[in-house]
Amino acid sequence: MQYAITLTLIALSFALAAFVGLRAGISRTREGRILSFVALLVLPVVAVWGGYTEHEERASTTEFCLQCHVMADFGKTLHYDDKSYIPAVHFENRFVPRDQACFTCHADYALFGGITSKIHGLKNVYVQYFGTPRKPADIKISSPFPNSTCLHCHLGSRAFETVNGHHKTADMLQKVKASQLSCTSSSCHDTIHEVGDLKDAKFWTEPK
Amino acid sequence: MNIETKLRRAGFMVAAGLLLQFLSLLPLHPLAFIAFVGFGVPIMLIGVAYYVFSLLSHTHPDAPVSPATRAGQS
């Protein structure tokens, strides 16, 4: 629905701007000047805002992320039939929305997190189309995975707060919450995408 | 250059930018996002800026002439 509205808005803005371009003489009348103002300033600004919102929404989808060839293998790892793989267990159990599986874990949840993630994504797109992309097995996360992304959902949940593994030492949970102990690189939850395991892996298929 | 010529140019630039934006929304592809951000939006914004500039720089024929301008004319 939002997509249709955005397309209609941009099409309408285009038609009006083109009309003003073809009939610039309308600016001789007061009504024509108002129409020019709406067609060349107000509507385009609204249209670009709508277009950006739509693009941002679409750029958050799993389908979008997996368009790049090197990401295809990472998409397959979401279907590992093994609970030790963190992305697979999140995807298969619907701990993350399946249509935004990549973005849910690879987005910064700070104030401008969405925009920061998109800028970072643009660099990946640049490498994909204008650079030399690495082999999927050689691709590593560019900065340590932040605990805040995990805590965004898990903090306060009963399983997270009470599971024995989070109380191996008295202050373990506090250290995790303070990001002094990494969730993913402290030998705890460090089996992530592991695309190198794909060739020997078993895959889970959702029952119809 | 008169205001109508400027309006025409601004109108075509805004329309070109909007057309690119429209086309970029049809496929779901990373390059479509690049086309939107890298081409559609800048071209449209240049057109909008050109329109605003043409409005600000345009003097209406019936506008009162400032004393300084009048002194320069005499």
DSSP letters, A50-109, are HHHHHHHHHTTSHHHHTTSGGGHHHHHGGGBS-TT-HHHHHHHTTSS-GGGHHHHHSS--
Q: What is the three-class DSSP state of A17?
A: helix
Q: With cut-offs at 50, 70 and 90, classify the pLDDT of residue A186.
A: confident
* Inter-chain CB proximity A44 and B10 less than 8 Å: no
Per-residue pLDDT of A83-122, as tens digits, reads 999 999 999 999 999 999 999 999 888 777 777 888 888 8
Contact status, residue A64 vs residue A118, Cβ threshold 8 Å: no
Q: With cut-offs at 50, 70 and 90, classify the pLDDT of residue B46.
A: very high
Q: Which is more confident, A135 or A14?
A: A14
Q: Strand runs (DSSP E) across chain B, as ranges? A: none
In a domain, B61, yes or no: no
Nearest CB to B15; choose among A14, A24, A64: A14
Question: Distance between CA A36 and CA A1 in Å, rounded?
Answer: 28
In a domain, B68, yes or no: no
State both tokens at A37.
């103002």
pLDDT at A69: 85
* Inter-chain CB proximity A24 and B5 less than 8 Å: yes
SS3 of chain A: helix, strand, coil, percent, to 5: 65, 0, 35
A86-111: burial string, b at 16+ Cβ within 10 Å, e else: bbbbbbbeeebeeebbbbbbebbeee
Q: Other C-beta atoms within 10 Å of B54: how many?
A: 21
Q: How many angstroms separate the CA of residue A23 from the nearest CA in chain B?
A: 8
Q: With cut-offs at 50, 70 and 90, classify the pLDDT of residue A64.
A: very high
State both tokens at A167.
């109380």
Let me know the angle formed at the C-alpha of A182 by A179 and A184, rounded to the nearest 5 degrees. 145
Let me know the angle formed at the C-alpha of B48 by B6 and A8, rounded to the nearest 5 degrees. 115
**Single-letter amino acid, residue B2:** N
Greatest Cα pair distance, chain B, in angstroms, is 64
Record the pTM: 0.79
Q: Mean per-residue pLDDT for B29-56? A: 93
In a domain, B49, yes or no: yes
pLDDT at A185: 82
Domain span including residue B45 = 10-56
Greatest Cα pair distance, chain A, in angstroms, is 79
Q: What is the three-class DSSP state of B8?
A: helix
* Inter-chain CB proximity B48 and A44 less than 8 Å: yes
Q: Does residue B19 belong to the interface with chain A, where contact is any CB pair within 8 Å? A: yes
Question: Distance between CA B44 and CA B49 in Å, rounded?
Answer: 9
Which residues on A lie below 8 Å from B47 (Cβ)? 17, 40, 44
Which residues on B lie below 8 Å from A54 (Cβ)? 25
Q: With cut-offs at 50, 70 and 90, classify the pLDDT of residue B60.
A: low
In a domain, B31, yes or no: yes
Per-residue pLDDT of A116-169, as tens digits, reads 888 888 888 888 888 888 888 888 888 889 999 999 999 999 999 999 999 999
- Asked whether the ipTM of the predicted complex exceeds the cut of 0.95, the reply is no
* The dihedral sign for the CA sequence B31, B37, B38, B44: positive
In a domain, B17, yes or no: yes
Let me know the angle formed at the C-alpha of A101 by A100 and A105, rounded to the nearest 5 degrees. 110
CB-based burial label for B52 (10 Å; 0-12, 13-18, 19+):
middle
Q: Does residue A6 belong to the interface with chain B, where contact is any CB pair within 8 Å? A: yes
- DSSP assigned state of A94: T
Look at chain B and report how many structural domains it folds into: 1
Q: Does residue B10 belong to the interface with chain A, where contact is any CB pair within 8 Å? A: yes
Q: What is the mean pLDDT of chain A?
A: 91
Let me know the angle formed at the C-alpha of A122 by A119 and A126, rounded to the nearest 5 degrees. 150
Q: Does residue B5 belong to the interface with chain A, where contact is any CB pair within 8 Å? A: yes
Nearest CB to B21; choose among A36, A47, A67: A47
